[in-house]
Structure 1
Amino acid sequence: MPHLRACHLYDETYVLIGRQGHPDLKPGLTIENYVRLEHIVVSRRGGNFETPVDDALGVLGYRRNVVMSAGSFLFIPEIVSSSDLVALVPRRLFRAQSERLMIIDLPWLSERFDIGLIWHERCHGHAGQRWVRELIGKLMVEGEDDAPRA
């Protein structure tokens, strides 16, 4: 869009989360075991039970068992921590919740996506907005020590 500016912050990957003590979650989870789990997905439009991950699984001949849709990733920890549902979530969003959530890497899932900062042109020169953008950029660089490497 011509009135928007953007900058790339970092590349992100997904991890699988579930409650501590989930009987079917363990490192090295196979794709066959993954698709049998009961999944919750995030759908901003509501009720949509398919994501680009489902498209990729379909190409490989798999279909996961999606049983619930949520409107935001922020609802996911409460739902999975009190049930046997699991969810694919952005790694950085939930890395600090490992006490109450199991976080499982899925090496066979190579889905990566960009996280960026977008702002309107009219705010570009605003000193306060510029300070916030610079602070976010600085925090992202400092947080790279915890970020996954390509």
Structure 2
Amino acid sequence: MQAAHIRLLQVFDEIYKTGSVTRAAEHLGLGQPAVSIALARLRAHFNDPLFVRIANVMEPTPLACELQEQVHGALASLEQVFGYRGSFDPTRAERTFTISMTDISQLVLLPSLWAHLRRTSPGIHIDIVPLSEQTPRLLESGEADLALGFVPQLEAGFYQQSLFRQRYVCVASADHPRIRQRLTLRQFEREEHAVVTSSGTGHLILAKEITSQGIRHNIALRVPNYLGIAFVIEQTDMLVTIPERLAEVLEGRGRFKVFPVPFALPDYAVKQHWHERFHHDPGHRWLRGVVSDLLSTARR
């Protein structure tokens, strides 16, 4: 494919996305006359206006709508062939990465990640989106670069790297009136519990094991994330069973007591996942290496 043909596809794609010849020119770094000429060539080639101005917006014709998926796919393929084999200098690069992660990962990873980026890669920016049922689609579409956490639904069809093993611990307020130096199974069953039900954690492992072992779990409060759970536990008599890495973050930041879970419970792997389309991208490889190194350092 000739460079001129690639430019025509880029013009088509930008006008389709922005609905504007002017904004398409700005995004492509071209003059507006050059974009107008390219649009005229496209119209002549397809014998169709492709985009019609309606209320100051360039609306696509039915043929343009049919072409868009093919044009976008062709450009993505070209980017994969040519762009992903390029070099990446994190000290000079200007790029935004989107990471899908749990609030636990935000607490554990983000402070060190941000400090590392500001020290070594000032042009790199990070957008965080929550792990959800939409995460596989976001990785496939390129709207997210990485997914970080315990995500069984990403075990098949995505690349993955184990970062560390995670286990659960029980946390109570330092002022808990009944739990002092140790937590017994009997106490675990008699006390009220708060549970966190967010995706991307080992919550399902915990619930399954408690049920299979016939352990009584008196759940008094369910919350969708971990960010507020520390304040709840610190100021009530409830217990919460949370990943050990989160407990390490909370210790020293409030009045808590941390205990081993008083029954057998398997650990699980926290991983980073990514789609095949980014596997060979130098910038993406750099980001995966940074995440792996930081979490390995934190683990040590």
| Paired residues for 1:22-61 under 5 Å | 22-44=176-198, 51-61=204-214
TM-score (norm 2): 0.43
Give 4+ residue runs of structure 1 displaced > 6 Å after superposition: none
TM-score (norm 1): 0.80
| Deviation of 1:29 (Å) | 1.3
| Deviation of 1:26 (Å) | 3.1
Q: Alignment length, in residue pairs?
A: 140
| Deviation of 1:107 (Å) | 5.1
Counterpart in the other structure of 2:165: 11
Q: 3-state SS of the aligned residue for 1:74? A: coil
Higher mean alpha-carbon deviation, 55-64 vs 85-94, is at: 55-64
Q: 3-state SS of the aligned residue for 1:61? A: coil
Hey, what's the Cα distance between the residues in 2 that align with 1:15 and 1:86?
10
| Deviation of 1:30 (Å) | 1.1
Counterpart in the other structure of 2:233: 80
| Deviation of 1:35 (Å) | 1.2
Hey, what's the Cα distance between the residues in 2 that align with 1:54 and 1:141?
28
| Deviation of 1:38 (Å) | 0.9
| Paired residues for 1:129-148 under 5 Å | 129-145=284-300
Tell me, yes or no, if structure 1 residue 68 matches structure 2 residue 211.
no
Bigger fraction of residues in strand: 1
Counterpart in the other structure of 1:117: 272
Residues 1:87 and 1:31: Cα distance change in structure 2 (over 3 Å): same
Provide Cα deviations, 1:67-100, integer angstroms capped at 9, x if missing partner. Answer: 1111112231122122222111010122032231
Residues 1:80 and 1:56: Cα distance change in structure 2 (over 3 Å): same
Q: 3-state SS of the aligned residue for 2:263? A: coil
The one of the two structures with greater contact order (alpha-carbon pairs below 8 A, sep at least 6) is 1
Q: 3-state SS of the aligned residue for 1:28? A: coil
Residues 1:53 and 1:27: Cα distance change in structure 2 (over 3 Å): farther
In structure 2, list runs of 5 or more residues that go unmatched.
Answer: 1-155
Tell me, yes or no, if structure 1 residue 91 matches structure 2 residue 91.
no
Provide Cα deviations, 1:115-147, integer angstroms capped at 9, x if missing partner. Answer: 1111122222233322221011112222333xx
**Bigger radius of gyration among the two:** 2
Residues 1:24 and 1:127: Cα distance change in structure 2 (over 3 Å): farther
In structure 1, list runs of 5 or more residues that go unmatched.
Answer: 146-150
Task: Note the aligned Cα RMSD (angstroms).
Answer: 2.1
Higher mean alpha-carbon deviation, 76-85 vs 106-115, is at: 106-115
Check the 8 A contact 1:28/1:106 in 2, yes or no: no
